[in-house]
């Protein structure tokens, strides 16, 4: 099953929280794009997550590239939400509740330009440095992105612990 | 690398200061009563930084006119459907609409609109966009209620009342 089909399946799965879905999609992205050398394929993993779960397929020093609208999952129409995230990352405003999208965008920013600049991007994107749910989540995502070197299994566990707030290890398929 | 990063930061600051509504209409919708009409256009964003925003422009016009004038514009994080059920006509003279934290009402068949912003008028508001409008009910006699929900706590809801169709909420 490719990433898009897997993400669509998760989107329709009401038994799992949105944060669990995020962790599982990170793991799936690593399986799909990581290949045998996840360190050198980490760009592909990040870009794959971006293209599937946001409006962009790359974020970098030279700007952004739009993703294929037909490939995106959970960005318009039926969308991912805020369930399962740690309370400080939850946003219940209906036009802003897709925390999967927020996480992936800011994760990619941190990965592409490093943690301090990723944080700057968070503040500019949100229009504030006030610690709202989106800013807090953006800082965490930027930090994880800045320290991502292809170990997608560890990243899925880190998201499960630090973003979803779970103490046990995630049982990965 | 430091110079590149510095340049990127400066460019981000510049872009961040000028991020604005684009010209591309993503969705449009129009409704009317016997005397005035309301149009909602959803626009994209020019020069997004990390994640794009979306702009919902609410415009009004007389029923026979095509001279639209802006009532209010709301920016969202996500590309959502136009909230058609949040544009309502009470009678031929009175209509109201709301989205995220803004409410607008006309009592003169759309000739003028009063915009109410929860950021500026909610008691004990701590920071911008702290609350959003969850529900509004306005009756033909001008009495009504507005529910303002917290973005961070779905159980934290404030209810305000009006006796002038929502020009003022207390």
Residue B5 has pLDDT above 70, yes or no: no
How far does the CA of residue B108 sit from the closest CA of chain A (Å)?
30
Predicted local confidence at residue A158, as pLDDT? 98
Q: Which of residues 82-101 of A touch B (CB under 8 A)?
A: 87-88, 90-98, 101
**HSE-CB of B7 using CA atoms within 13 angstroms:** 8
Do B169 and B144 touch, CB atoms closer than 8 A? Answer: no
Do B40 and A148 touch, CB atoms closer than 8 A? Answer: no
Q: Per residue in A4-23, pLDDT tens?
A: 999 999 999 999 999 999 99
CA distance A159 to B86: 36
* Residue B38 β-bridge partners: B31, B60
User: Which H or E run contains B40?
Assistant: strand B36-46
Kindly provide the residue ranges of all beta strands, DSSP E only, lying in B90-155, ordered along the sequence. Answer: 95-99, 102-106, 114-117, 131-138, 144-150
Q: Is the CB of B5 less than 8 angstroms away from the CB of A91? A: no
Predicted local confidence at residue A62, as pLDDT? 65
Token output for A90: 């939850």
Model confidence at B1, pLDDT cuts 50, 70, 90, reads very low
CA distance A41 to A31: 11
Least confident of A60-69, A141-150, B10-19, B90-99: B10-19
Do A137 and A89 touch, CB atoms closer than 8 A? Answer: yes
Q: Which of residues 20-49 of B touch A (CB under 8 A)?
A: 48-49
Predicted local confidence at residue A131, as pLDDT? 86
Predicted local confidence at residue B17, as pLDDT? 54
Token output for B105: 């009402």
Across chain A, which has 173 residues, the per-10-residue mean pLDDT values are: 93 97 98 90 95 86 77 93 97 95 97 93 89 95 97 97 97 85
B100 part of contact set with chain A, CB < 8 Å: yes
Among residues B1, B58, B62, B6, which one has the least CA distance to residue B29?
B58
Residues near A172 by Cβ (< 8 Å), separated by ≥ 6? Answer: A24, A27, A153, A156
Report residue B86: phi and psi, to 5°. Answer: -105, 15
How far does the CA of residue B72 sit from the closest CA of chain A (Å)?
17
Residue B11 has pLDDT above 70, yes or no: no
Closest chain A residue to B1, measured at CA = A113
Residue with the larger pLDDT of the pair B129 and A47: A47
Residue-wise DSSP of A67-83: PPTTT--SSSSS---ST
Residue B2 has pLDDT above 60, yes or no: no
Predicted local confidence at residue A56, as pLDDT? 86
Q: Per residue in B27-44, pLDDT tens?
A: 999 999 999 999 999 999
User: Which H or E run contains A28?
Assistant: helix A18-33
Mean pLDDT of chain B: 90
How far does the CA of residue B66 sit from the closest CA of chain A (Å)?
30
Which ipTM was obtained for this model? 0.91
Predicted local confidence at residue A38, as pLDDT? 85
Residue with the larger pLDDT of the pair B12 and B97: B97
Q: Per residue in B40-89, pLDDT tens?
A: 999 999 888 889 999 999 999 999 999 999 999 999 999 999 999 999 99
Report residue A130: phi and psi, to 5°. Answer: -60, 145
Predicted local confidence at residue A128, as pLDDT? 85
CA distance A84 to A75: 18
């Amino acid at each position: 099953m490719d990433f898009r089909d897997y993400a669509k399946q998760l989107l329709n799965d009401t038994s799992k929280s949105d944060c669990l879905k995020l962790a599982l999609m990170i793991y799936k992205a690593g399986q799909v794009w990581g290949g045998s050398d996840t360190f050198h394929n980490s760009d592909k993993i990040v870009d794959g997550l971006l293209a599937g779960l946001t409006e962009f397929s790359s974020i970098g020093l030279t700007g952004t590239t739009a993703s294929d609208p037909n490939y995106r999952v959970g960005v318009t129409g039926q969308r991912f939400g805020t369930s399962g995230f740690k309370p400080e990352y939850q946003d219940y405003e209906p036009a802003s509740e897709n925390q999967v999208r927020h996480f992936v965008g800011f994760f990619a920013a941190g990965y592409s330009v490093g943690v301090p600049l990723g944080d700057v991007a968070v503040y500019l994107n949100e229009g504030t440095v006030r610690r709202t749910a989106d800013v807090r989540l953006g800082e965490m995502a930027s930090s994880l992105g800045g320290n991502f070197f292809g170990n997608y299994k560890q990243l899925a566990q880190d998201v499960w612990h630090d973003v979803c707030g779970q103490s046990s290890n995630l049982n990965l398929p | 690398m430091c110079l590149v990063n510095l340049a990127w930061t400066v460019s981000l600051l510049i872009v961040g200061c000028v991020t604005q509504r684009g010209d591309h209409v993503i969705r449009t919708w129009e409704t009317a009563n016997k005397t005035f009409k309301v149009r909602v256009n959803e626009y994209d964003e020019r020069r997004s930084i990390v994640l794009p925003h979306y702009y919902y422009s609410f415009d009004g016009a007389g029923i026979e006119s095509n001279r639209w004038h802006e009532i209010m514009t709301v920016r969202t994080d996500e590309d959502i459907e136009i909230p058609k059920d949040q544009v309502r006509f009470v009678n031929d003279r009175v209509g109201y609409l709301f989205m995220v934290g803004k409410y607008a009402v006309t009592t003169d068949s759309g000739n003028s609109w009063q915009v109410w912003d929860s950021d500026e008028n909610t008691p004990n508001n701590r920071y911008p966009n702290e609350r959003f409008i969850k529900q509004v009910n306005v009756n033909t006699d001008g009495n009504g209620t507005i529910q303002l929900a917290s973005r961070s706590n779905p159980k934290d809801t404030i209810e305000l009342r009006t006796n002038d169709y929502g020009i003022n909420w207390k």
